Amino acid sequence: MAASNENLKDMIGQEYKDGFVTDIESESFPPGLNEDTIRAISAKKDEPEFLLEWRLEAYRHWLTMEHPEWAFVEFPKIDFQEISYYSAPKSMADGPKSLDEVDPELISTYNKLGIPLEEQMRLAGVAVDAVFDSVSVATTFKDKLYEAGVIFCSFSEAVKEQPELIKQYLGTVVSQYDNFYAALNAAVFSDGSFVYIPKGVRCPMELSTYFRINAANTGQFERTLIIADEGSHVSYLEGCTAPMRDENQLHAAVVELVILKDAEIKYSTVQNWYPGDENGVGGIYNFVTKRAECREDNAKVSWTQVETGSAITWKYPSVVLKGDNSIGEFYSVALTNNYQQADTGTKMIHHGKNTSSTIISKGISAGHGQNTYRGLVKIGRKAEGARNYTQCDSLLMGDQCGAHTFPYIETKNPSATIEHEASTSKISEDQLFYCMQRGISAEDAVSMIVNGFCKEVFKELPMEFAVEAQALLGISLEGSVG
Amino acid sequence: MPVTQLSNAHYASLLEAKQSNLPGQDLDWLNRLRLQATKEFADGGFPSLRDEEWRYTNISPIEKKQFTLSDKAGDVDASFLKGILLDDCHHLVFVDGFYQAGLSSLDALPEGLVVSAISTGLAENEELIRSLFDSVVETPALGFINLNTALFTDGAVISIKEGVQVEKPIQLAFISSKDGALTVSNSRNLILAKSGSKASVIETYHGAEDTCYLTNVITEVVVEPNARLAHSRLQAESLQAYHVGGVYTRLDSNAIFKQYNYTFGATLSRCEVHAELGTASDCDLDGLFISQDQQHMDNHTRVNHAQPHAVSNEFYKGILNDKSKGVFQGRIVVAEDAQKTDAKMSNRNLLLSDRSEIDSKPQLEIYADDVKCAHGVTVGQLDDAAIFYLRSRGASEQMAKDMLTFAFANEMVERIKINPLKIKVLEELLKRLPQEGMKVEWL
Amino acid sequence: MLKIEDLHVSVEGKEILRGINLEIGAGEVHAIMGPNGSGKSTLSYILAGREGYDITKGRVLFNGKDLLEMSVEERAWAGVFLAFQYPVEVPGVSNIYFLKAALNGIRKYEGLSELDAMDFIATVKGKMKELDMDEKFLYRAVNEGFSGGEKKRNEILQMSVLEPSLCVLDETDSGLDIDALQIVAEGVNRLRDPKRSFVLITHYQRLLDYIKPDFVHVLAHGKVVKSGGPELALELEEQGYAWVDEKKAS
């Protein structure tokens, strides 16, 4: 059941609610990027030699790469020497051992965002890893998860505690050379989340990472690695917010998912980075590489994303379907209002026999927003019996925005079945009149219709996130009904 | 020197070498265009796989072959010609890029219809040609257009007077002879359908068997208000040949344009069908491609809804066998002012072999809000229930599959309204999808 | 309750209504009949406040207030309900949510608190039963994929839940078979109340066999050309609308 009208109405009146700045003393590297920066990050984290080498390989390769220009987004050239690649609250320098030692200012920041970290207030059934600028501040329910055999910790901690797992899996889905921003991330990533679900374990609670950019002029480069061993199951959520600033900030993350035989990962994102103001000033550049590999038979992965924030969203959570009978799913709502731009979609690469994939993409454009779906469905020579179903729908609100659909469909196997459908619509005058004749205001009617448009995606989200996602849409559409 | 550089230098040098053989040397405007295009080609050359519009089609064989220009038309066998010319049509025949008056039949042209070869009509129709030339064709950066502008040897110019309805279709037959081996024919066709007129133009492309050559052709079309033009294209080149072609059309308000595109021949082919739609104009683009062996067939369409209330409907089908590869890219652009646009695109493909491949890229780019746009793509196999039904009536499994494959293609053939063309296309179809005991007359 | 005075309406410069006068008292049922193109549907849209019509002259009073000054939803809150000739599909929005949102909008206007979800569902289910509607309709998107008859029943369901004071039924009988027509008519009859008025817009007498009007008006060429009691409808049924044109000619 959707949130009531009244709630939506209240929310429409709001501005970006997570735009505050936490006043905290930070230790930041001066802007600039060279091998020394990377050595410094690695030293800060006390990393083993192999990881530093890996970072340097990525960096050297990155230097040879050109910035990709193919996306349907426009922004001024980024000066990578102007960015600070590491920023952490000073209080985190000694590595607090427990939550009691964490700066109360940080804890209150997360409280304000609705993510309580204290024991007594924690969200029931959800374990949270809180990442603040370049470092993980705290991870809740670690012990309880440990009992179940689940490893859920910050990436830095995993490097120390689980070097073998890191060595075995890091970069095996998204290599350090993969693309421009993935290579940059590999060189300078500072933290992120690590999850390992052992054989046959069904993770007893939802895992979640909450990303917060606070410091100005820094980039956030986190890296998430999730491994679902044979027959395991996990549901993982991520949320993101940032303060309102007039400068654009770069967020270039990498997420790697490894799914082994009979295992399943459900990965949900509610992305609400600061989108910039109504004139397109400020906002986050969200350039992310997310990829899952169904490495063995019967593996399943499902990406669900609700993208309402960021000045520019540029990402394609993808699935490589290697194992036979493996399944990939992608459910997406992307909203662009004011001057936001989104070029997002997915890639479904079918190699295994009887692999199947589903893509449901809902793009909403309002104001001057430009919304692009870009997707690849590739059926390899050996993907006997592969199936794909794709549906991309666009909803246009206002005559200054744009909705674009660029699917690529490449098929090399005659037994494949591919169906792709796309449509574009607007909220019709008839619909608005009908709703209004029943006493529902235009703004409420629009919210209802937009939520209805996105329903197929929202139903894939865990409960708490579905409510948050609906609320975000209400806010993000503010002022788009003329 | 790398191949690309050699190729660019080679093709760019052809203008100087062959200029004396090209029509309109005494026309300043045309010489300027040719020089400009030569210069642009020398700089840019042919497109590469790095160009988004060419990511699935590698034209490096064309660079390597370094085709030259013929000086004159070769001989064409009378029986070969007979198999090409359609009954009940006006005919213009071009061999190796040169107009052949002796093989053409332009005697009984109706009042209000101008049809001539550019080479012979340049003096009489200079204004018409000048007004149409380069007036519709887009994206000159794609080297083939520059090459055509720089080196075209001939082509047809057609103008239909206001309100005139032309009964018989006009066939433009482009033939490559055995003597034309390793040459490139650059032809340029210009068509103007004036207000309220109605006509039908057919382009056919054939070549001597086992001969390797390149056809590089551009057709520019203007359909004025309330005029209706049907344009068909049958590409049945030699299986050794390369074919790059384009039909670029501008529709004025309330104009109607129906394009039918049949691709069967050439080892590598690329066809662009572009239409710019005026207010309340109506545009249909139909296509069928059937590839075998190692053929590579690439069809690109682009529909620009520039003005409101226009309707476009696009339907392309592909059948791919053996080690062949098909490419379909359809792009619909709806401009900010083009409210009330109704645009549809559908691409359906059948892969018959495990070594065949199809790459499909249907695209929508929309800047107006009150529009209806939809596209659909399918890749799949024949319907099992239909196969079962046919088998239950006594057909063998193979025969049932053949019949259904044929039916899949025939849906596009049935749309042809010109009977002689329909028979011709069916013949090509049956050559590629043989039907036991089937006769063309039955269809 | 409703008073229409010398109402003139044009669409794109063409005059559709040419001076309508009509007075409808509380508890009355008025039928407005007329041939196609007489302006019947236009009248219903004007009452509901649809855009795209130029009101060139006249006024409409609803309980003494100027109806034409009110926005579409204000009219709905004040108690004007239009049962659409072609109910609109609203994909993705469930019937139950839609109804609850509509009802709470009206309750808020009346200064009442939001209805408790349990009570609301119980009420709606009871009303659905009366209209022979399956409960599953509640969870389907508004009118999406409904048959013609289902859509019309859904309109009556909304009417019975929202309890308006003025119900305008635009060609509610069209597309209904005899069984469905009876169910719909019974639904309407149940809602008859001394405080509630009805305007039935219809081409045929058929609907009036089941919903007895107090007054019948014949609309032609944008004017009320004849008014009378229920017997007028029967007269029309026998004679057809030809006399209307004759009348105009003479």
Measured in whole angstroms, how far is the alpha carbon of residue C17 from the centre of its chain? 18
What confidence tens digit (pLDDT) does each residue in A36-74 have? Answer: 999 999 998 899 999 999 999 999 999 999 999 888 889
More confident residue, A182 or B396: A182
Nearest to C198 by CA among C35, C22, C49, C31: C31
pLDDT above 80: residue A289: yes
The model carries a pTM of 0.82
Residue predicted with more confidence, B278 or A9? B278
Compute the distance between CA of residue B326 and CA of residue A410 in angstroms, rounded to an integer. Answer: 10
Q: How far is B437 from chain A (nearest CA, A)?
A: 27
The distance of Cα B365 from the centroid of its chain, to the nearest Å, equals 24
Of A267, A273, A258, A187, the residue nearest A234 (C-alpha): A267
Nearest to A138 by CA among A175, A109, A161, A171: A109
Are A304 and A270 contacting, i.e. CB atoms less than 8 angstroms apart?
no
Pairing between β-strand A135-139 and β-strand A126-132 as defined by DSSP bridges: antiparallel
Environment class of residue B209 by beta-carbon count within 10 Å: exposed (0-12), middle (13-18) or buried (19+)?
exposed
| pLDDT at B3 (0 to 100) | 81
Q: Which residue has the higher pLDDT, C179 or B302?
A: B302
A367, closest residue in chain B (CA to CA)? B369
**A433 vs C72, C100, C104: nearest CB:** C72
The pLDDT value given to residue C205 = 83
Tens-place pLDDT, residues A225-249: 999 999 999 999 988 777 777 888 8
Strand partners, A197: A228
Q: How far apart are CA C160 and CA B262, in angstroms?
A: 60
Our measurement of the distance from residue A380's CA atom to the centroid of its chain's CA atoms, rounded to an integer in Å, reads: 27
For B264, the token pair is 């069967």
Mean pLDDT of chain B: 92
Is the pLDDT assigned to residue A12 strictly greater than 50? no
- Tell me the chain A residues in contact with residue C41 when contact means C-beta distances shorter than 8 Å: none
- CA angle centred on B424, ends B418 and B428, rounded to 5°: 140
pLDDT score at A428: 78
C-alpha A51 chain-centroid distance: 24
How confident is the model at residue A133, as a pLDDT? 78
How would DSSP label each residue in A89-123? EGGGTT--SSGGGS-HHHHHHHHHTT---SGGGPP
Of A182, A243, A193, the residue nearest A217 (C-alpha): A243
Q: What is the ipTM of this complex?
A: 0.81
Torsion of CA B338, B340, B341, B342, to 10 degrees: 180
Mutation site for A-interface testing, chosen from B316, B322, B325, B366 by largest number of A Cβ within 10 Å: B366
- State the Cα–Cα distance between residues C164 and C167, nearest whole angstrom: 7
d(CA B291, CA B42): 33
**Average pLDDT of the residues in A180-197:** 93
What tokens appear for A157 in the block? 């901690």
pLDDT of amino acid C249 = 46
**Taking CA A445 as the corner, what is the angle to CA A442 and CA A451, rounded to the nearest 5 degrees?**
140
Tell me whether residues C76 and A436 touch, CB distance under 8 A: yes
Q: Looking at the predicted structure, is the pLDDT value of residue B319 above 70? A: yes
pLDDT at res. A20 = 78
pLDDT at B263 over 50: yes
Interface of A with C (CB under 8 A): 1-2, 4-6, 428-431, 433-442, 444, 448-449, 451-455
pLDDT per position as a tens digit, C89-104: 877 778 888 888 888 8
Question: Taking CB atoms and an 8 Å cutoff, what residues of chain B touch A410?
Answer: 357-360
- Choose the weakest-confidence range: A152-166, B298-312, B352-366, B426-440: B426-440
**DSSP run (H or E) holding B90:** strand B90-95
Asked if A163 contacts A48 with a C-beta cutoff of 8 angstroms, the reply is yes
pLDDT for A1 beyond 60:
no
Separation CA B322–CA B293 (nearest Å): 5
> A77 touching B, CB under 8 A?
no
Specify the DSSP element, H or E, that contains B64: helix B60-65
State whether A434 and C84 contact (CB < 8 Å). yes
The answer to whether C90 contacts A429, with C-beta atoms less than 8 Å apart, is no
User: B334 to each of B282, B285, B369, B373, how far by Cα in Å?
Assistant: 14, 17, 9, 9
Q: What is the DSSP string of C50-85?
A: -SS-EEEEEEEEETTEEGGGS-HHHHHHHTEEEE-S
The full length of chain B comes to 443
In terms of CA atoms, which chain C residue is nearest residue A453? C92
Residue B43, classed as helix, strand or coil, is helix
Q: Is the per-residue pLDDT at B141 higher than 60? A: no
| Of C89, C90, C102, Cβ closest to residue A439 | C102
CA-based nearest residue to B189, from B219, B158, B227: B219
CA end-to-end distance (rounded Å), chain C: 35
Least confident of B87-91, B118-122, C130-134: C130-134
Q: C142 or B321, which is more confident?
A: B321
**Interchain proximity B374–A396, CB inside 8 Å:** no
pLDDT at B182 over 60: yes
Question: Do residues A229 and A150 lie in contact, with contact meaning Cβ atoms separated by under 8 Å?
Answer: no
- B355-383: average pLDDT: 89
Nearest CA in chain C to A456: C92
What's residue A89's pLDDT? 80
3-state secondary structure A321-379: ECCCCCEEEEEEEEEECCCCEEEEEEEEEECCCCCEEEEEEEEEEECCCEEEEEEEEEE
Region B159-187 average pLDDT: 96
Do the bridges between strand B184-193 and strand B156-160 make them parallel or antiparallel, or are there none, so unpaired?
parallel
Looking at residue C143, its pLDDT comes to 86
Taking contacts as CB-CB distances below 8 angstroms, the residues of chain A near B358 are 409-411
Smallest CA–CA separation between A437 and chain C, in Å?
A: 5
Looking at residue A120, its pLDDT comes to 58
**Facing residue for A439 by CB, picked from C106, C114, C141:** C106
For residue B140, the model assigns a pLDDT of: 55
Strand partners, B249: B221, B275
Query: Residue C246: its pLDDT value, please?
Result: 61
Q: b vs e for C60-79, b when ≥16 Cβ sit within 10 Å of the residue's Cβ?
A: bebeeeebbebebbbbbbbb
CA-closest candidate to residue B374, choices A371, A374, A392, A410: A392
Query: What is the reported pLDDT for C49?
Result: 87
| Residue C244 main-chain phi, psi, to 5 deg | -60, -45
Q: For residue B159, is pLDDT > 90?
A: yes
Query: Residue B228's beta-bridge partner residues?
Result: B198, B256
Indicate whether A205 pLDDT > 60. yes
Residue A114 to chain C, least CA–CA distance (Å): 27
Closest CA to C2 of C60, C57, C41, C48: C60
* DSSP state, residue B70: -
Q: What is the pLDDT of residue B134?
A: 93
pLDDT on residue B211: 96
Measure the CA–CA gap between A254 and A223, rounded to whole angstroms. Answer: 5
- Collapse the DSSP code of B11 into the 3-class scheme (helix H, G, I; strand E, B; otherwise coil) and give the result: helix
DSSP structural state of residue C138: G
Query: Residues of B343-352 as b/e, b for ≥16 C-beta within 10 angstroms?
Result: bbbbbbbbbb
At A25, is the pLDDT very low, low, confident or very high (cuts 50, 70, 90)?
Answer: confident
Kindly tell me if the per-residue pLDDT of A96 is higher than 80.
no
Task: Identify from C93, C114, C120 which residue to disrupt to test chain A contact, counting A C-beta atoms within 10 A and taking the largest count.
Answer: C93
For A372-431, the pLDDT digits (tens) are 999 999 999 999 999 999 999 999 887 788 999 999 999 999 999 998 988 888 887 888
pLDDT at residue A27 in the model: 83
Give the pLDDT of residue A10. Answer: 36
Asked if the C-beta of C93 comes within 8 angstroms of chain A's C-beta atoms, the answer is yes
Cα nearest neighbour of C162 on chain A: A438
Any chains having at least 3 CB pairs less than 8 A from chain A are: B, C
For the segment A5-33, the average pLDDT, to the nearest whole number, is 65
Selected residue with higher pLDDT from A220 and B119: B119
With a cut of 70, which residues of chain C have pLDDT below it? 244-250
- Plot region of C217 (φ>0 → left; ψ -120 to 50 → alpha; else → beta): beta
In chain A, which residues have their Cβ closer than 8 Å to the Cβ of B369? Answer: 396-399, 401, 426
Q: Strand pairing of B296-305 and B268-277?
A: parallel
- CB contact under 8 Å between C90 and A435, yes or no, is yes
pLDDT of residue A197: 96
pLDDT value at residue A95: 61
Residues 6+ apart with CB under 8 A from A309: A240, A241, A242, A271, A272, A273, A274, A275, A283, A284, A286, A472, A476
Using an 8 Å Cβ cutoff, are B75 and B177 in contact?
yes
What residue ranges define each of the domains in chain C, with the CATH number in brackets? 2-249 (3.40.50.300)
Cα–Cα dist B1/B19, whole Å: 26
Q: Do chains B and A touch (3 or more CB pairs under 8 A)?
A: yes
